[in-house]
A and B are shown apart, each in its own frame.
Chain A
Amino acid sequence: MKSMEDLERLKEETLQDIQLRTSSGSPRIVVGMGTCGIAAGARETMLAIIDELKVRRKFDVAITETGCVGLCAKEPIVEVQIPGQPKVVYGNVDPSRGRQIVVSHIVNHKPIDQWILNVEDNS
């Protein structure tokens, strides 16, 4: 049986965890780079995103990648997570869409609705 103190500590830790996941840190961009992503042009999308971040002088962004998520026909897939906002998953992101996502979503915090595949509210 847990004491009240244990429960309080657990609550504190969990709140810190949620804080970490949702509101702290930098915006995050994840590009799908499985075989399907690569065949669909994910490499060029990644490079366009990096270049646009450079042009906009937006250097506090964490970039990472993921493998095949089972939606090969929608590749290149790009996820954008702004701290404190729901995670947005975009599909068919060619280099030009990648640049527009950087400007609209990352810089101006306005997701581009017509390219969104899914929104995950994990806050």
Chain B
Amino acid sequence: MDRIIDLSLHLLDLLQNSAHAGARNITVSVIEDQEADLLQIAVSDDGKGMNSSEQARVLDPFYTSSNSKKVGLGLPLVAQAAAMAGGSVSIDSNESGGTQVSVSYKLSHPDRQPLGDISATLVSFVAGNPLIDVVLEYKGPEGVFHLDTRQIRTEGEGQLAFIFKFEEKLRGGLSLAGYRPDRGGLFHEINGRS
């Protein structure tokens, strides 16, 4: 379990939670704020939501909503990576539907994991969940990028054709806004080089 080594993999885990909650629409926001020295990743969905007792326990690795296993490591690992990088996790959920998970990190913290390949995360997620629409809002050092799967779907298009188009737009847009997958804290950059 030690191979969730970048933030895009944690993001994929959060997206899986939304899919598991029956979400049909998910908004992902990634903000690199150099001035405030803050990196924020948020996932907001229209899934079934959680009541307050579930919300209180989601960061406990021995709590899971699943009946087939005894542990639930997704959010605890996300929280651990945030805590190591001077950040935190906040969860806002409504029992009648909808959950927002927001994770913050100190951008310049030596132990902040690199962002990783967010395109790979979103492409693999959209590929595996053809019924879910995803909106990405990215604010990077060189601009903002917004992409909505609903806007690029066309009538009668095959699943794979749509995925290839989505990937192309995603990689192009992120790169223009200054997104660099390997930019992480000092510790990780040194490790990456060695």
The residues in B between 1 and 52 inclusive whose CB is less than 8 angstroms from any CB of A are: 1-4, 9, 12-13, 16, 19-20
Establish whether residues A43 and B16, one from each chain, have CB atoms under 8 Å apart when the complex forms. Answer: no
**B interface size (C-beta, 8 A):** 32
Chain B residue, CB-CB nearest to A35: B74
| Residue B101 at the chain A interface, CB threshold 8 Å | no
Establish whether residues A59 and B160, one from each chain, have CB atoms under 8 Å apart when the complex forms. Answer: yes
Residues of B within 8 Å of A69, CB to CB, are: 68
Chain A residue, CB-CB nearest to B131: A64
What is the CA–CA distance of A32 and B71 in the complex, to the nearest angstrom? 17
| Residue B121 at the chain A interface, CB threshold 8 Å | yes
- A40 touching B3 in the complex, CB below 8 Å, given contacts A59-B161, A61-B160, A69-B68: yes
Residues of A within 8 Å of B121, CB to CB, are: 43
The residues in A between 8 and 54 inclusive whose CB is less than 8 angstroms from any CB of B are: 31, 33-36, 38-44, 46-47, 50, 53-54
Residues of B within 8 Å of A62, CB to CB, are: 159
Residues of B within 8 Å of A35, CB to CB, are: 1, 4, 13, 16, 72-74, 77
What is the CA–CA distance of A38 and B78 in the complex, to the nearest angstrom? 13
Residues of B within 8 Å of A47, CB to CB, are: 120, 123-124
Min CB distance, A116 to chain B, in Å?
Answer: 22
Chain A residue, CB-CB nearest to B117: A43
Min CB distance, A15 to chain B, in Å?
Answer: 28
Establish whether residues A67 and B128, one from each chain, have CB atoms under 8 Å apart when the complex forms. Answer: no
Looking at chain B's contact residues, the main secondary structure is: helix
- A38 touching B69 in the complex, CB below 8 Å, given contacts A43-B124, A64-B130: no
Residues of B within 8 Å of A39, CB to CB, are: 1-4, 9
**A interface size (C-beta, 8 A):** 28
What is the CA–CA distance of A62 and B129 in the complex, to the nearest angstrom? 10
Residues of A within 8 Å of B77, CB to CB, are: 35
- A38 touching B13 in the complex, CB below 8 Å, given contacts A43-B120, A50-B163, A65-B129: yes
| Residue B154 at the chain A interface, CB threshold 8 Å | no
> Which residue from B12, B66, B163 sits with its C-beta under 8 Å from A38?
B12
> Which residue from A40, A50, A70 sits with its C-beta under 8 Å from B69?
A70
- A54 touching B1 in the complex, CB below 8 Å, given contacts A64-B128, A68-B66, A68-B69: no
Residues of B within 8 A of A (CB): 1-4, 9, 12-13, 16, 19-20, 66, 68-69, 72-74, 77, 120-121, 123-125, 127-130, 158-161, 163-164
- Additional A-B contacts beyond A33-B128, A39-B3, A43-B9 (14; CB < 8 A): A35-B1, A35-B74, A36-B1, A38-B4, A38-B13, A38-B16, A50-B163, A53-B160, A64-B128, A64-B130, A65-B128, A65-B129, A67-B66, A70-B69
